[in-house]
Amino acid sequence: MDGIITSVQRMSVHDGPGIRSTIFMKGCNLRCRWCHNPETFSFAPELEWIKTKCIGCQACLEVCQTGALRLTNGNISFNKGECTACFDCIPECYPEALHKIGRRVTPESLFSEIEQDFPFFEESGGGITISGGEPMLQKLFVISILKLFRTGGIHTALDTNLSIPWKHYEQLLPYTSLIMADLKAMDNELHEKWTGGGNSTIIRNIRNLDESGIPYFIRTPVIPGFNDSEKEFRDIAGLLSTLRNMKQFDLLPYHPLGNWKYVNLGVKNLLEGVSSPTSIDLQRYASILEEYGINYQIN
C-alpha cells in the first residue's frame, strides 16, 4: 500500500493542537481559487521551476525536448502545458531551480520519517495531521496511516474539504482523533463557481460530523469578493449556531503569501492582485458571529 504526497511539514503549529507533523497528500477534487497549495491540485508528479533561483545558464534547454523550458525574449521561461514531466532537466540544474513535486511513500516509511518528532508531540499535545489536497481521494492509504499512528499512541487529525460521501468518512473515524473541515460558503452557486464543486454534500457532512461524536473544528476562509458579504456571514453563522459538538471555529483571512507557488508551477493565479481583508472587515464578520453566539478565533 502506497500513496502520493507533496511533503511532510514538521513542527507545524497551525494544523491542529500542539506541535504537529503535517502530511500533504497530492490530488484534489476542488479548485478553490484562493488555494495556498496549488502543488496539490494534480495527482501526478510535476516540475517546479523556482524563477528566483534560476541563473539563466541554459543547461536545461539542451535536454528539454518539448520546449517547456525555453528562451523567451532572452530569458528562461517555463511553459507547464508543454512539460511531459520527464524530469531530465533536474540533474542539469546545479543551482537547484528545478524540482520534482510528488513522491510515493508507504505508511511505514512515513512512520519512520516522523518518529523523531514523537517527543515533541508528547510534550505539546500534538500529533500528525493529514492534509492536502484532499486526503479522502487516497482513502485506503490514509486509513493505513491513521491506523499505524493511532496504534502507536499518536494523536491523528484529518484536514478534509468534507465533499466526499459520508459513508467513506465512517470507515476512518475509528482511527481519527480530530477532523478539521472547511465551511467555505452557504450559497451553492457561489461555492461551485469559486471552488469547482457544490456544497450540499459538505453541509450534510457537517451535520453528520456533529452527530458522530468525533471532535471536530470548522474553518471559514475569508476571501474578498467570494464569501465576505453580510448575507454569507449570517448564513454561515446560522448553520454554526445549530451545531452542538463543534470544538472550535476559525476564521482564516485570505493572504496572498502563497502566490509565488503559482509562479513556480506555471499555474494561473485567479486571485492575482487581491489583498487580505482589512481588520475593519474582520471585525464586521466577528460581530455577526458574536450576535449568533459563536465562539471563534482568527488565525
Q: Which residues bind ligand SF4 (CB under 6 A)?
A: 47, 54-60, 63-64, 66, 68-69, 76, 83-89, 92-93, 95, 97-98
- Cα 299 from Cα 294, distance rounded (Å): 16
CB of 164 vs ligand SF4, minimal distance in Å: 32
User: What CA–CA distances, in Å, run from 67 to 63, 76, 94, 266?
Assistant: 9, 11, 20, 14
CB of 64 vs ligand SF4, minimal distance in Å: 3
Instruction: Please say which residue, 54 or 157, places its beta carbon nearer to ligand SF4.
Output: 54
Instruction: Please say which residue, 44 or 140, places its beta carbon nearer to ligand SF4.
Output: 44
Burial (CB count within 10 angstroms: exposed 0-12, middle 13-18, buried 19+), residue 154: buried
- Listed as own residue / partner, the contacts of 265-270 with beta carbons closer than 8 Å and 24 or more positions apart are 265/38, 265/39, 265/46, 265/48, 265/49, 265/80, 265/101, 266/49, 266/78, 266/79, 266/80, 266/81, 266/83, 267/38, 267/41, 267/80, 270/33
Instruction: Please say which residue, 58 or 241, places its beta carbon nearer to ligand SF4.
Output: 58
Instruction: Please say which residue, 43 or 120, places its beta carbon nearer to ligand SF4.
Output: 43
- Cα 252 from Cα 190, distance rounded (Å): 18
Instruction: Please say which residue, 23 or 76, places its beta carbon nearer to ligand SF4.
Output: 76
CB of 31 vs ligand SF4, minimal distance in Å: 22
User: What CA–CA distances, in Å, run from 239 to 4, 196, 210, 286, 294?
Assistant: 35, 22, 12, 15, 10
CB of 100 vs ligand SF4, minimal distance in Å: 8
Instruction: Please say which residue, 68 or 157, places its beta carbon nearer to ligand SF4.
Output: 68
Give the helix ranges, DSSP H, for the chain. Answer: 107-114, 118-124, 139-151, 166-172, 188-195, 200-212, 230-240, 259-265, 279-291
CB of 89 vs ligand SF4, minimal distance in Å: 3
CB of 260 vs ligand SF4, minimal distance in Å: 16
Reference 162, options 219, 216, 205; nearest CA is 205
Instruction: Please say which residue, 66 or 297, places its beta carbon nearer to ligand SF4.
Output: 66
CB of 58 vs ligand SF4, minimal distance in Å: 5
